[in-house]
Amino acid sequence: MHKLDRAAVTKPACLASYNHTTHKWCDLKSHDKKIVRLSLQKMQGQQIVADDADDHAVYILGLRCAYCEGQIYHGGHIEHFRRKNPAHYPQLTFEWDNLFMACGSPDHCGHYKDRGGAPYNPDELIKPDEHDADDYLYFHSSGEVRVRNRVNMTEQDRKRGAETIRVFHLDCGVLTGARHKALKQYLDGNSGILEALMDFSESDRQSFIGQEIEATKWEPFWATIRHFFEKLPA
C-alpha cells in the first residue's frame, strides 16, 4: 500500500448525473463506468502517452490494487472504500473520493473487507489517497506486513495500522508469499547484487539504491521493495 494522488486526476464529470436517492450503482451506464474506471487507472497506474494511429493514445501500465499493490488483472473492480449499501453509506455511492480500483481476490482487499463478515470502522483504516501508509505500516523482506514502531506513533496510529492489516487481510499467506517473491531477485544468493552493493562507495551505493527504487516504482508490491532498500546501509 502506498500514497495515491487523487488531485492529479480529473474527477469524472459523469458522476454528477447520478444521485443515490434515485439511482443505484447498477444504474451506472456502461460508458460512464468505463470513464470512472479509466480515471482510477490513471490514479493507480503508470500513464504512457504514445503517438500512434490512435493519436496520443494513453496506455496504463503497472496497474496495482489500491490496497495490496498486487497487479490488477482483467480490470479488477471499482471498490467503494465506505460501503454503499443502505445500512452504511449510500450517500457516497457516486462520490469520486470514495472510489478506488481493487483486485478481485475474495481472500483480501476490497471484497474481503465487505464480505469477510468482521465489523470495522472505515474511519480507523488507512485511506490510500488521504494517509501515507509508510506512517503506519512496514513491509518486511520476509513478506510480512507489520505495524510501524515509531517513537512518535500514537495509539490511534497503531490502531489504524493494525485495523488496516486485519480488515483488508494484508497478512494473509497469499500476499506474504507474493511480497517475498517480489524481492527474490535481490535475496537470491546467486544474484550477488547485495554482496556487490556492499563493495560500492557510499555515494555509489546511495545512487544505486535511489535508482533501483525509482526503476521499480510501477512494479507490484513496490512498498516491499522500497522498504527493503531503504533499510540497507547508505
Q: In which band, very low, low, confident or very high, does the pLDDT at 47 lie, cut at 50, 70 and 90? A: low
Please write the tens of the pLDDT for every residue from 120-161. Answer: 999 999 999 999 999 999 999 999 999 999 889 999 999 999
Give the bridge partners for 80, in sequence order.
99
Is the confidence at residue 89, as pLDDT, over 80?
yes
pLDDT of 118: 78
pLDDT of 188: 73
Q: DSSP secondary structure string, 47-92?
A: EEEE-STTSSEEEEES-B-TTT-PBP-TT-EEEESS--STTS-GGG
pLDDT of 233: 61
Quote the distance between the C-alpha of residue 222 and its chain's center: 9
CA dihedral 35, 40, 44, 47 (to 10 degrees): 20
Q: In which band, very low, low, confident or very high, does the pLDDT at 191 lie, cut at 50, 70 and 90? A: low
Is the confidence at residue 192, as pLDDT, over 80?
no
Is the confidence at residue 52, as pLDDT, over 80?
no
Average pLDDT over residues 193-217: 80
> The whole model's pTM is what?
0.88
> Are residues 76 and 103 in contact, defined by beta-carbon separation less than 8 angstroms?
yes
Q: In which band, very low, low, confident or very high, does the pLDDT at 48 lie, cut at 50, 70 and 90? A: low
> Are residues 63 and 101 in contact, defined by beta-carbon separation less than 8 angstroms?
yes
One-letter amino acid at 120 equals Y
Is the confidence at residue 115, as pLDDT, over 90?
no
Please write the tens of the pLDDT for every residue from 154-186. Answer: 999 999 999 999 999 999 999 999 999 998 877
3-state DSSP assignment of residue 35:
helix
Is the confidence at residue 22, as pLDDT, over 80?
yes
Q: DSSP secondary structure string, 148-209?
A: ---TT--HHHHHHHHHHHHHTTTTSHHHHHHHHHHTHHHH-TTT-HHHHHHTS-HHHHHHHH
pLDDT of 92: 98
- Give the mean pLDDT of the chain: 88
